[in-house]
Amino acid sequence: PPDILNDLLAEFRPLFDRRQFRQFSRYIASSWASPTRSVAHLNGVFVEHTNQSNPNRFLRNIPVLDIFRKSVDLINRYSSDPVLVLDDTILPRSGKHIEGAGWVFDHTEGRSVYGMQYATAIISGNEWIFPLNLDLKTKRGPS
């Protein structure tokens, strides 16, 4: 991974034992490098991939609260007066059977469009943008 990623990962090193940290590092690096988020795909991004049960086991036992606290610590350390930004983005699509696509109201166009709607959450600071979450919004129930 690039040096900036290694520097950032090093901040999380105390939260894990050696094997867990390797899985954490691989998960973060592959998440940045791949648009597909399935564990099987992320594991396969690496030339030296491990048995898929390893990342699955890691993700079932990840110390979420500790990672969140460390993330907040980093945000507070490198940013003053951060702003939480919540937004949605619609990526227009064409085609009949696209997983995750549907009719959504686009407030910028004032009409419904066929596409994929993502909700994003970031914290923006002086010179930094910290991505927190990106979710594909899908409709539930009959369309």
Which of 51-65, 88-102, 128-142 is predicted with the least confidence, judged by mean pLDDT?
128-142
pLDDT digit string (tens) for 63-98? 888 988 898 888 778 777 788 889 888 988 888 888
Provide the percentage of residues in the chain whose pLDDT is more than 70. Answer: 81
Amino acid 72 reads V
Per-residue confidence (pLDDT) for residue 44, from 0 to 100: 65
| pLDDT at residue 54 greater than cutoff 80 | no
- Distance in angstroms (rounded) separating the CA atoms of residues 47 and 44: 7
Cβ 122 vs Cβ 130: under 8 Å? yes
Tokens of 25: 């590092």
Helix (H, G, I), strand (E, B) or coil at 121: strand
DSSP 124: E
DSSP code, position 13 = G
Domain ranges of the chain: 3-78, 83-137
The pLDDT of residue 140 is 60
29-38 long-range CB contacts below 8 Å, 24 or more apart? 29/1, 29/5, 32/5
Confidence of residue 141 (pLDDT cuts 50, 70, 90): very low
Nearest to 28 by CA among 52, 61, 53, 4: 4
- pLDDT digits over 103-123, tens only? 999 998 999 999 999 888 888
Count Cα neighbours of 30 within 13 Å in the Cβ-side half-sphere.
Answer: 21
Q: Which two tokens stand for residue 92?
A: 């227009």
